[in-house]
Structure 1
Amino acid sequence: MKVLLLFPPSWHPSQPYLSLPSLTAFLKQNGVSDVIQRDLNIELLDMLLTQKTCGESYNKITDKLRGLEERLINSLNYHEERNALTEAVEALPWFIHQVERAKNILRSDAFYHLDSYMEAVHIVNEALRLMSSLFYPSVMTAVSNTMRFSVYSSNDILQAIHSERENIFLSLYKEYVLSSILEATPKIVGISITNTSQIIPGLTLAKLIKEQNREIHITVGGSVFTKLIEELKKVDSLFTLVDSFIVFEGEHALLELCAQVDGKNDFKKVPNLVYREKGVIKINDNYFSEDLNTLPTPDFKGFPLSLYFTPSLVLPIQTSRGCYYRKCAFCNLHLDHRNFRLRRTDLIMEDIQKLSREYQTKCFFFTDESVPMNKLREISQCLLESRDEIKWMGGVRFEKALTGDVLKKMAEAGCQKLVFGLESYCQRVLDKMKKGTKRDVVKKTLDECLKAGISFHLYVIVGFPTETENEAMETLDFVLNEEYLHSAGYSCLPSLFGMEKDSPIVNNPSEYGLASIRSPIGEDLGLGYLYAVKEGMSPQKAEEMYNYMISKLSGTLCPFPYNYSMADGLLYLVYRNKNNKEEVVLR
């Protein structure tokens, strides 16, 4: 039994994602030895950002621009497309000779010099944008892709995956990926789709594989389709592209799927599986939650770890699954895992030490929704005792238990930065959100972080129902605190409120002053709703406030890499603290 696990574009290129290494390790632990895993996101980015590929794209764009003159010139789309192609023909020759230098900057110590970093990021994104003009109006950057097709509509998805003209990934896969997948001769291909920007690229890949070999069982896992279980029952067309979907957690489900594909094909025995049998879509609702204390250390073998856009490797690690709080009115992340579970601290330490030794890294990112306080204390104590000099960051909640003494110990144990979901600094809004957070605890915690030398990232939500403009400004004034702005590593990222599917607010609209909630027309795979309010900012006003907040923060905080809650920011802080030089200016 050969299994091929694939992580498609688009995702942030600074570190590997944890899903495939976790599955790979579990399958190998349980006797499925022939497992190959590939991060196609970073593979394709590395391939695109070469002088050769940029030059080939330039030639194709030039040819297309010549051919475009033969089309009707009265079309608005004609003029827009012609302008995009013309810009690429004029600008791309310079980038052809710069892209490999830019990649080398991001993978070398030049990464730590902000001007060099920002220049490299600009070159990478502009080169990708210009090359994307060949598929106008689609656009690809290092972290995302956009097309005119909606990822929330099965009809649009089907149009996209067949569109030679606009789907960037069709030609990329055919030219650089498909043959190697088929040559591997897998019996199962697993595709991890963990965010919406991967939907069209992931299903495009599935379509191409199926066209070449219908005997390969293609299964799709990840949080996106876990949130769409009920919708999958009604969207038969997706099962022309894939054979099954694994929802919730994938370890035991994928293991049993291997057994059935290699045996009797009795798919009703596979937990967490959605599949079509004799024309009927079935859901195996014997949902399985993993015992984290029986899972092996993630296995990153096969990932091109030297290709990530950082000078040092940062690996993801997990201390728990699910959210221990689970009460926030706006949040549906608790759906990804049916319950909250912890991994034993001694096993976490084994994971850290094994991965550190095997992959020559001291830097780790805890991917938990929020690491519980007791676990933070235990991990910090163990790291201090081990003297391994591990550097780390992770997400936490504002809790009274996160005291100055705890933070000091965490800093001594290598904690560089914490990621907080602040959401609002208005107590009325926090209470409405059911955050379980008090303003005085927020302020005290952040002050103690500053004393301990731990940086922090704040997520903010703009436009939660009933929030007023004055209340939003209260939050903006707080995050623009001069003391925070002048602290090392401070970052803040607002997001516009979205009414997410299955979030608690949807079940009790009157409590939140909602006049109406409705599904967007044509979205049979929708993950959110349109809404109107009786009080507070309207969605339109909230968007205006969001744009204002972004503009104010952009004037004081550098958006990349320091104003980010991922590997980039961690590495900058490690470098800054190690070198302790005034010339290391990060904003």
Structure 2
Amino acid sequence: MLALISPPVVDPRSTYLGSAILSGHLSRFQVDHTTRDANLDFFDWLFTQKTAEGYANASNDALLRYLSLELEPAKAILKGNGFFDVQSRNKARNVLDLYCRALSVVFPDMDLRLHRFSYGGIERSAKLLSDALRSEKPNIFHDYYEYFLRTAQSDLEERVAVSITNSDQLFPGLMLGKYLKDRGHEVAVGGACVTKLREHFLSKNSFSDCFDVAVFFEGEEAIIKFALSGTTAFETTGWANFVVHQGRDTISSSYGKSLKPSSWASPKFSNSETKKALRPKNVLPILTSKGCSWGQCTFCTIPESSGAGPELVRNAVLQNSVSCIERLQRDNDCSNFIVVDENFPASRQVQFSEYLSSKKVCVNWLAYARFEREFTNENCLTIRKAGCRKLLIGLETTSNRVLKLMKKGVTRKIIEANLTAFRKSGIAVHLYGMVGFPGQKLSEAIETLEFVIQWLRSSENALDSASFSEFNLNTSSPIGRDPASYNLIISSDRNDDIISSTYHEADGSEVTDWVEFRKVANERIVSEFGERSMVGWEEYSLLLADRCDDKFRNFEARPRLTVSTLENHDIRRHEVRSFETCKHHKQGYLLLNDETSQSMFVSRALQGMLDHTPTHGSAASLFQRAQAAYPNLTEEAFAHIMNGLARNGIVAITHRTQN
């Protein structure tokens, strides 16, 4: 028997695909196993009154105590009909996000959000990660894994496979492996993130304490061998894509072996696990290909980690993908799907749509794609009629010069033509912008920003959205493997780098300043669209799509544009400090906006204003109460904080009001 586990921490709305595909493969070969989505279970545990009250009591924190009463109502809204009321949904989501941020008062090294996780920058350094895994410092996963083992013990087999798909899962996933190994379990780790870091797993170091077997690229064959191997001294004859550390010996296979698409298993999802997601209806991921048919972008790691081999991409038979959707509709009561291919080309989207239509399969779906000439008006109409509601596309930049440097294979003319075709057909789009690519000028980044703002201003589709983030020098990307050709000098230790490297420009040439860009962008966003709203939650786009077509349209329609936050900017281009001194540079609650969130003053002031009982009295009396506790609190600062809470929807969901 084998237990498959998806570790924290990714997203409370999402069901991830890796363990579901392995479950389907094991079922095909009649291998007994269980599955556990520890990511969804983690958030389900975290967003309970009992958990929040424990942290509130331990820290004597008034805001945590206040929020502890709001968590269960917020979860109920996001899982029920209240989700479809925009005000209720946003308030509920903001309550949960504020609670995650407020936990920094208990765990100051941790930056936890609804859609991402960081722990003092350790995900960038093998040494820092190693130190953190061995550290006795309290962290939230110690608490959760104690709960997890108590509740999962009956389902937890002697052998466990942990699927680590992205960097946010790296620390909690390896920590889970170590936690289980220390308690007598035999542990395999795998997934896209492990594949990217395979050189670190091949060498015997402190990571070795976290696993018995590490699996690279596709793990279907190795995971069956791991499940059926009879002894701790694993019989590895015939294994592929793995490394085993046994005593002083390291045993590894040649890796990169890929399964033919005809051998891919249909994913098998557990309804008891998916119902924990924060959404009122099921939204499930499906896969129709691995790799990217373009495969030339200089910043991209897909060709390195997909295992697709020299052909760049392997495609499943689309009729089989449609049959998979039909089964998931029936077995999992799901009519909303995300095609999680790294790139779903227009030609395959058209074929996919034709198969869906011919079999009269009625679903909503969204997918990741590239700009390309084949997104014609006719093709876009075919795709939209078959249920495509949104495409998520890497815009990066509108500068033809920078697009050429990136080797994107498109021009601004193609981008504009595609966006026009999407708009005419009714397909929404999310645009990902990139700022700080080597050689890009600030003026070019702002030009892209203005392009996106004008596109959103003219949009009548409530689901259109966009976001900007800073360029990250991934170690396994073409530019990461050959930084000198892009005028970069690596300033970090390449042997210590995990996901990305720190760097500086070789000759001091002009590059886009991310801090300056973010300042300009935020000013433009506020002036054009008012207060910023949370971006992402793409599963929610599908669930809201039909309602945005009718009377809910005007209520929902608000352009969504944001730039990523600055949490890791202080370590992006500079040396990372030791784990013991690498504190998150924004202490406190990280709420309201960047100016107020940088001060612990916000934390202290809120403790004076909020407690676990309903607060009565005028705004003036609230201010007097807070000022009595904190004499330095000014009326202006008090008003700023309270306005910030109101903007973020932190109004008592249970209708407690301040009169």
State the TM-score, normalizing by the size of structure 2. 0.79
Compared CA separation, residues 166 and 148, structure 1 to 2 (3 A): farther
How far residue 344 of structure 1 moved from its aligned partner, in angstroms, is 0.3
Instruction: Say yes or no: does 1:191 pair with 2:162.
Output: yes
Q: Distance in 2 between matches of 1:234 and 1:61?
A: 41
Within the candidate set 305, 323, 328, 2:292 is matched to 323
**In structure 2, what is the equivalent of residue 202 of structure 1?**
173
- Classify the secondary structure of the residue corresponding to 1:202: helix
**In structure 2, what is the equivalent of residue 460 of structure 1?**
433
Instruction: Say yes or no: does 1:166 pair with 2:138.
Output: yes
**In structure 2, what is the equivalent of residue 126 of structure 1?**
98
What's the C-alpha RMSD, in Å, of the aligned pairs?
2.4
Which runs of 5 or more structure 2 residues have no equivalent in the other structure?
Answer: 560-659
The percentage of aligned residue pairs carrying the same residue is 27
Q: Which range moved further: 387-396 or 89-98? A: 89-98
Q: Distance in 2 between matches of 1:16 and 1:254?
A: 21
How far residue 100 of structure 1 moved from its aligned partner, in angstroms, is 0.7
**In structure 1, what is the equivalent of residue 56 of structure 2?**
58
Preserved CA contact (<8 Å) 1:365 1:394: yes
How far residue 455 of structure 1 moved from its aligned partner, in angstroms, is 0.5
Counterpart residue type for residue 199 of structure 2:
E
Compared CA separation, residues 39 and 303, structure 1 to 2 (3 A): farther
Query: What does 1:169-318 align with in structure 2 at a 5 Å threshold?
Result: 169-174=141-146, 176-213=147-184, 216-261=185-230, 265-301=234-270, 303-318=272-287
- Classify the secondary structure of the residue corresponding to 2:415: helix
**In structure 2, what is the equivalent of residue 71 of structure 1?**
none
**In structure 2, what is the equivalent of residue 70 of structure 1?**
none
Compared CA separation, residues 192 and 485, structure 1 to 2 (3 A): farther
Q: Which range moved further: 368-377 or 178-187? A: 178-187
Q: Distance in 1 between matches of 2:324 and 2:176?
A: 32
Within the candidate set 475, 498, 504, 1:531 is matched to 504
Compared CA separation, residues 485 and 108, structure 1 to 2 (3 A): farther
- Classify the secondary structure of the residue corresponding to 2:4: strand
Counterpart residue type for residue 109 of structure 1:
N
Q: Which range moved further: 476-485 or 387-396? A: 476-485
**In structure 2, what is the equivalent of residue 42 of structure 1?**
40
- In the TM superposition, what whole-angstrom CA distance separates every residue of 1:538-557 from its partner, at most 9, and x where no partner exists? 36x24432453355346656
- In the TM superposition, what whole-angstrom CA distance separates every residue of 1:377-407 from its partner, at most 9, and x where no partner exists? 1111111222222111001111111110000
Q: Distance in 1 between matches of 2:143 and 2:232?
A: 35
Counterpart residue type for residue 528 of structure 1:
S
**In structure 1, what is the equivalent of residue 118 of structure 2?**
146
Q: Matched residue pairs, number?
A: 553
- Classify the secondary structure of the residue corresponding to 2:275: helix
How far residue 302 of structure 1 moved from its aligned partner, in angstroms, is 5.6
Compared CA separation, residues 281 and 59, structure 1 to 2 (3 A): same
Q: Distance in 2 between matches of 1:485 and 1:217?
A: 56
Preserved CA contact (<8 Å) 1:8 1:198: yes
How far residue 249 of structure 1 moved from its aligned partner, in angstroms, is 1.2
Instruction: Say yes or no: does 1:502 pair with 2:495.
Output: no
Preserved CA contact (<8 Å) 1:217 1:261: no
Preserved CA contact (<8 Å) 1:10 1:142: no
Q: Distance in 1 between matches of 2:516 and 2:94?
A: 27
Query: What does 1:103-114 align with in structure 2 at a 5 Å threshold?
Result: 103-114=75-86
Counterpart residue type for residue 460 of structure 2:
S
Q: Which range moved further: 350-359 or 222-231? A: 222-231
**In structure 2, what is the equivalent of residue 69 of structure 1?**
none
Within the candidate set 404, 409, 417, 1:431 is matched to 404
Query: What does 1:397-476 align with in structure 2 at a 5 Å threshold?
Result: 397-476=370-449
Counterpart residue type for residue 103 of structure 1:
K
Q: Distance in 2 between matches of 1:263 and 1:157?
A: 27
Q: Distance in 1 between matches of 2:523 and 2:186?
A: 48
Preserved CA contact (<8 Å) 2:233 2:246: no
- In the TM superposition, what whole-angstrom CA distance separates every residue of 1:457-512 from its partner, at most 9, and x where no partner exists? 11111111111112112211111115655331111111111111121123444543
- In the TM superposition, what whole-angstrom CA distance separates every residue of 1:88-125 from its partner, at most 9, and x where no partner exists? x2222321211111111111232233322221112112
Within the candidate set 337, 341, 364, 1:364 is matched to 337
Compared CA separation, residues 162 and 505, structure 1 to 2 (3 A): closer
Q: Distance in 1 between matches of 2:135 and 2:482?
A: 41
- In the TM superposition, what whole-angstrom CA distance separates every residue of 1:495-533 from its partner, at most 9, and x where no partner exists? 111111121123444543x14234358835353342315
- Classify the secondary structure of the residue corresponding to 1:307: coil
How far residue 449 of structure 1 moved from its aligned partner, in angstroms, is 0.6
Q: Distance in 2 between matches of 1:324 and 1:474?
A: 29
Preserved CA contact (<8 Å) 2:437 2:471: yes
- Classify the secondary structure of the residue corresponding to 2:468: strand
Counterpart residue type for residue 30 of structure 1:
F
Which runs of 5 or more structure 1 residues have no equivalent in the other structure?
Answer: 63-88
Q: Distance in 2 between matches of 1:130 and 1:546?
A: 24
Preserved CA contact (<8 Å) 1:462 1:494: yes
